[in-house]
Amino acid sequence: MQDAASSPDIDLMRRTAAGDRDAFASLYRMHHATVYRFARLMTGSTTTAEDIVQEVFLALMRDASRYDPARASLTTYLYGSARHHTRRRLLRDRFLVRLEDQADLCLPAASATAAEDLIRQRDVQHVRRAIVRLPARYREVIVLCDLQDVSYADAAQALGCAIGTVRSRLHRARHLLADKLLRGLACVDMARRPTVRCEV
Cβ proximity to another protein: between 54 and 168 the closer is 54
Rule CB under 8 A: say whether 123 interacts with another protein: yes
Are the beta carbons of 6 and 69 closer than 8 angstroms?
Answer: yes
Cβ neighbours around 14 below 10 Å, total:
15
Q: Write down the H helix ranges in 2-69.
A: 7-17, 21-43, 46-62
Positions 136 through 195 that interact with another protein (CB under 8 A): 142, 146-149, 174, 177-179, 181-182
Task: Report the residue from 2, 14, 36, 59 that binds another protein according to the rule CB under 8 A.
Answer: 36
Task: Report the residue from 2, 10, 14, 32 that binds another protein according to the rule CB under 8 A.
Answer: 32
As a dihedral over the C-alpha atoms of residue 152, residue 162, residue 55, residue 131, rounded to 10 degrees, the angle is 60
Q: State the Cα–Cα distance between residues 27 and 41, nearest whole angstrom.
A: 22
Contact map string, positions 77 to 106, toward another protein, x by CB under 8 A:
------------------------------
